Structure 1
Amino acid sequence: MLLLFLLWGSQLTAQPIHRIGKAMPGADSILPQPYLALTNANVLDVRTGEILENRTVVLQDGLIQSITTGAPPQGADVQDVNGYYMLPGFFDGHFHGRTLDAAQFALESGVTTVLSAGAYGMQDMTFRDAVTAGYFPGPDMLAAGVFVLRHLGDNALEDPRLFKFMNVELEGTDSLRRVVQVNFERGVDWIKTRVGGNTAAGVADAYWLYYTEEEVAAMADEAARYGGKIQCHIQSGDAAIVAARVGCATLEHGQYINEEALRVMRELGTVWTPTYISTEGFALPHDDYNTPTARRVAPWILENQRRMLRTAHELGVTMVTAVDTPYGPESVARLAGEINAFIDYGEMTPLEAIQAATITSAEVYGLDGMTGSIEEGKEADIVLFERNPLEEPLNLHNAMMVISNGRIAVPFRSAFPGLNGRPDRSY
């Protein structure tokens, strides 16, 4: 399996995520962005839930050029999609993929945009830039760079300004601000840090505050100085309240979260990224996070998260979808499972859950002007499904065609081998 931490990656010109859809010079000769007309498509307007029937959707230069009921333009490659349902590509707001295979697995599950939640060093920036440049197919990425933790270890080798933190604990507001500064000066899009412990991974008691409120506030403030935001790993309600109070934009996981914290988040406009579907994997053999501790706590935290999904929806807390997986050979969680969990346990309508995976995520990550819906002028991030997802959301497991950044990642197929509507398991 090829790791993306390659020497040539450091030579790629930095290409910020807000230029998605605009490839770097020479990229078209590597992975072309075809002039393509998709005919007989039923397009889902994710803002209203309306199905726009029998549309011709024309893609050119990585963008959606037009959506009409007319004939395809001359010169376009024509693909009849047989009345399949067209949705915008999904967002995975907590991505740990680091390989070429992971990029393809994410695309095959309908994910076309991801927020990195930590990779080796600044490898996610290499991933982002290589995808944008057209070197290999993959989801567009918001890169987080060096994960801000107490122990940077080898990650401190990514920049000479971080060397002094290699063998010492990273703590104190000045030191934390410095790491945030280095990340943004190297070109990251977001910052990832930890506010609470992580019992399931054996890192620490879930109720322990990993950083003080003052330290987290310093990181959030420094990110804001660069026009950026911060995503915070939390598990407990106390950690969630601290993170929300100091301005963290998104709170990740929350297996031990409570109603009090959700009310604070609603009041402050803080977004919850539950990564519920990865929690289901805690009790599964061979899952990414299957450890003795995870198996022991799984029954309780699953019950709590299911209740809190419903409570969060009732309170009006904004939630976005994420999988929290490296998309490796042992990974079983997929984005469609998270969407269906929002429906089954959060008691969202299918449209609300799809919005969480598309336009709502795009708004949260500041990309709604470029992606998150099927509209003229937006990036051609498209997924096709055989059945109406508003009526059969389980069919979201079966992506029949995927286009990311105007490039065909999964060619159109009229049958999905081995599956007949309902997958063997709900991940």
Structure 2
Amino acid sequence: MIQEKNGTWVSWNENLIYEYKNLYRIASERELQDVIAKSDKIRFFGTKQSSADIAAGIETLIDITTYNKIVSFNDTEHTVTVQSGLILGDLLEAIEAKGWCIPCLPDINTITIGGALATGTHGTSGKLLSEYMTNCTLVLADGSLQTFTEGEELMDAVRVSLGALGVMSTVTFKCEPLYTLHVKEFPENDSEWLPKIKERIKKHDFLRILWMPHTDHGYVITGDKIDPNTEIKEDLGPAYLKHRRTASKILYKYSHLYPWITAIANKIIHKAFFSTTKEHKGSLYQATVTKSRGSVIELAEWTIGLDKFPQVFEELKTEINKWSNKSFIHIPMDVRFIQKDNSWLSYAYEEDMVTMGCVSRNAATADSYEAFKSIEKIFLKYGGKPHWGKRFAAKDNQLTKIYTKWEDFKVLRQKMDATDKFLNPYLTKLFNA
């Protein structure tokens, strides 16, 4: 175990900065237990990519990225057990080498397993990543261990816990046989893609829509399972498409000073980078997961019931297209789909959901990015839920209205962490602790 004294913790986009007195880099479960047991207050972090202020802000921190081993494979059960600091990309590469997959993956692969689970990370056209967890061990506030197994009532509380019940130690995932997707990408007018959502969810194994605010267009991505030996004519589009992030950086550079520039920039980016068709194949991981952010950004994301989404979308579109509104939104808004589950703090608790992401490509000026406020107001109006790892302002009195099990989770949290050891200032306000 390595201990550092008196340093500065900085999030990946430099929007969150805190001083700390003790930082521990641990490599074993025993070390994790010892540090937690002897600390009055403690938080833990991975790759610092959360836009929510969830990982730091107190004097003692644990860097979990050094606790990063694959513990074991069970070839009979198709399960893999890992330490919580393992990077998702390393896990995915390891299980693909076994001929396995986890059938729903987030957009990026650079987050830790523990952080992904705690904040409800998800992909599209499947369940939350945490729903594929069959067993996990938490280090509790007193340093003891407690194991939770699929089928137990409290497993549904632990799957998405914001790190407020304990520190995730080891995790077992149930995998499925590897499969190949035939992916097609194409532009479509809002009047075309919006009414086809339910039809396409049933038809395709993978569906994602990148909406282009201020352009009246979306970019539809579908994926269908095929035999891996099936030949397709791959078309990745013009070579210049790889420069989209660079172009976005230039076009949005002054959009925080002159928000209306965004509408013009979006039309240029849409025409240049989202008006062509593409076609390719690969595993879910190969074909759909971004291997690098490319640039620092700030994110918000909200979820809403599948049946309510068209109404919410139309109201949001009308609101942001008003020139009196400064909520000009950078391209793209990521629209994805989650199947219902039973996890207490899941966005999809007992209801199929649509998620809608919002990105600010000027991370340093995100506090003045009006779009975050407008989106939150509209989604909350319809009972929408915020992504735990991304930016939102809602607190306890609002969350209790939209999460059926919110009060149950608060009672459990207080029982498992009576001294609030795992709460930082952000979480204290969130739970009204």
Q: Please give the range of the TM-score, normalised by the shorter of the 2 chains.
A: under 0.3
TM-score (norm 1): 0.27
* Higher share of residues assigned strand: 2
